Amino acid sequence: MDQKIKEILNDLYAVDSTLRQEEEKIVKIVEKLLLAQPEVKIDENFISQLRLKLLEKEEILRKSKTHSFRITDFIPLNKLAYAFSGVAVALLLIVGFIFYSGPGEVVNVQNIGNNAFGNIVFSGQSQEGDNLQGSAESRGLGGGGGEEIAPLSSTMGTMGKIVPPDYYVNYKYVYRGGDFKIEEEMVDVYRRIKDETLSSDFASIIKGFNFGAINLEKFQNIKINNLQISEDHDFGYSLYVDFQNNSLSIYANWEKWPRTNYEQLSESDILPDKEVIAIADSFLKKYNIDMSGYAKGEVINPPLYRTMDMAQPEGAQGESLTPIYPSISIPDTLVVVYPVEIDGKIAHHSNGEKEGLTVSVSLRYKKVTHASSIMTGSYESSKYKAETEKEKIIAMAEKGGLFGSYYVYPDSVKTIEIPLGMPKLGLVKTWQWTNGQEAEAPLLKEAMPREMSYELYVPAFIFPVLENPESSYYRQNVIVPLVGDIMNGSMIREYPLGLSTETIEESPADPK
């Protein structure tokens, strides 16, 4: 008799000894049951794949062990857990994955070989986000918040068009710094890694839900692109999760903030930079946002704010010219930028502003109203040949670098020199698309599907503007990338376009 059957019988007799008398029948029953046992063939691929999935989740849990984002600030888990138990936990894991790592962890950079990102192209890029406050405030997604996204297409928007001042002044960059060296012939270009599986992972948790009118099971291969949740209390916040770009933004849920009549603030409302940064720091700390991939915060002063200290513009004979901007204009919010830092290099926007996580602080309420560009800090790096001719680099800087030079008016009344100081090595952020731009590098062809955008951080020399002229002009830095098509002189922006002197003289601007 089979050993297994013997054991089962012994257990049965221990309960009811009278069953021994019917042993023959009982053996048959047990044998019948054993014969009826379905043959289970487990798929070894399934076991391997599930193991990998669990290892990834295990890693997330390990990292989020001591630094958990307080999702309970946004979701009443006691209610949500009942209906969406897996969803809430998955959200915690995924949100935690996006911007949490342990304290003091360095940014994760993986080298993937030389020239792996194909041609680095700056010319012909859109000017989306090219504003002096950084791109965080520029567009709303999901009802109120702003999030930086890649320009829609590499061919959208070409040259800049700016309404010219009504008095013609030429600006000329002049390098006044000392001698500098270019140490390396090959430099690292970085690409931020976006985990495309996050949206699928999250979707797999909720795909079984049937909402009555909509049954998610009927949808094929679903992905969750974004998610927005809001706090329902005074001065509450909303959280916007962008799964595609692996980024978060937190913004004021305006329905729960006081309605104001937007009375102009006074000078006494202006906070020192130190206090503005402290409010921003405190907010980021409160929500346990991992700042290991960012440098210290700095306040970006918007140009309107700066007009407070501007002298009235003058003509060539010292006559007072009509100013365009009001003499005093105090912004409602100040923006603190925490620049992205990779391998000790600070990232900049093409306009010279520092690029990274931005936090807007309301001077009216002394609270944070917006925090955006909170992103994953994992990158791939690839070495590219750098421009090493110093004269060429300085020449490009004196042409305005990546952001371009100003149009030279033939009949200008004045030429103002803008001195540039000794450059530092940093990074400039740009975008790369595959749509309409065939990748030459084999790695790129395989790894990057069409119509996808990727953030690149390209080594660049950052030339500081030593002195800003007393006018509406304002730039902090001139950026000269060491890699890419700009060194061929193919990226020159001209300001303004199509406006004549006669037009200006006939109808001068009338400030209100």
Q: Beta strand pairing status for 298-300 and 247-252?
A: unpaired
Tokens found for residue 151: 């320009």
Minimum CB distance to other proteins, residue 34 (Å): 6
Minimum CB distance to other proteins, residue 80 (Å): 14
- Decide if 428 contacts 482 (C-beta within 8 A): no
Nearer CB in complex with other proteins: 10/488: 10
What's the DSSP call for residue 256?
A: G
Nearer CB in complex with other proteins: 25/392: 25
3-state SS, residue 166: coil
| DSSP secondary structure letters along 26-40 | HHHHHHHHHHTSPPP
Nearer CB in complex with other proteins: 38/410: 38
Torsion-angle region of 404 (φ positive above 0: left; ψ -120 to 50: alpha; else: beta)? left
Nearer CB in complex with other proteins: 9/271: 9
Backbone angles phi, psi at 477, to 5 degrees: -145, 160
- Decide if 356 contacts 123 (C-beta within 8 A): no
Minimum CB distance to other proteins, residue 292 (Å): 22
Nearer CB in complex with other proteins: 15/500: 15
Minimum CB distance to other proteins, residue 90 (Å): 9
Q: What is the Cα–Cα distance from 198 to 244, expressed in whole angstroms?
A: 8
Nearer CB in complex with other proteins: 208/442: 208
Nearer CB in complex with other proteins: 80/427: 80
Nearer CB in complex with other proteins: 24/510: 24
Minimum CB distance to other proteins, residue 3 (Å): 11
Minimum CB distance to other proteins, residue 225 (Å): 22
Minimum CB distance to other proteins, residue 98 (Å): 18
Q: What is the Cα–Cα distance from 489 to 432, expressed in whole angstroms?
A: 19
Minimum CB distance to other proteins, residue 347 (Å): 35
Nearer CB in complex with other proteins: 4/450: 4
3-state SS, residue 146: strand
Minimum CB distance to other proteins, residue 260 (Å): 43
Q: Beta strand pairing status for 345-348 and 424-433?
A: parallel
Nearer CB in complex with other proteins: 50/408: 50
Q: What is the Cα–Cα distance from 493 to 282, expressed in whole angstroms?
A: 40
Rule CB under 8 A: which residues touch other proteins?
A: 4, 8, 11-12, 14-16, 19, 22, 25-26, 28-43, 46-47, 50-51, 53-55, 57-58, 61-62, 86, 89, 93, 208, 210
Q: What is the Cα–Cα distance from 355 to 351, expressed in whole angstroms?
A: 10
Nearer CB in complex with other proteins: 204/437: 204
Minimum CB distance to other proteins, residue 36 (Å): 4
3-state SS, residue 190: strand
Q: What is the Cα–Cα distance from 252 to 233, expressed in whole angstroms?
A: 11
- Decide if 319 contacts 400 (C-beta within 8 A): no
- Decide if 9 contacts 26 (C-beta within 8 A): yes
| DSSP secondary structure letters along 320-374 | BPPPSS-S----SEEEEEEEBEETTEEEE-TTSSB-EEEEEEETTTTEEEEEEEE
Q: List the one residue out of 121, 131, 127 whose CA is nearest residue 352.
A: 131
Minimum CB distance to other proteins, residue 69 (Å): 16
Q: List the one residue out of 239, 62, 66, 75 whose CA is nearest residue 143.
A: 239
Count the Cβ atoms, other than its own, within 10 Å of residue 98.
23
Kindly give, in sequence order, each residue whose CB lies less than 8 Å from that of residue 409, ignoring residues fewer than 6 positions away.
168, 170, 501
Q: What is the Cα–Cα distance from 461 to 477, expressed in whole angstroms?
A: 10
Minimum CB distance to other proteins, residue 22 (Å): 7
Nearer CB in complex with other proteins: 22/451: 22
Nearer CB in complex with other proteins: 63/256: 63
- Decide if 132 contacts 301 (C-beta within 8 A): no
Minimum CB distance to other proteins, residue 23 (Å): 11
Kindly give, in sequence order, each residue whose CB lies less than 8 Å from that of residue 250, ignoring residues fewer than 6 positions away.
145, 237, 238, 239, 240, 287, 368, 370, 371, 372, 374
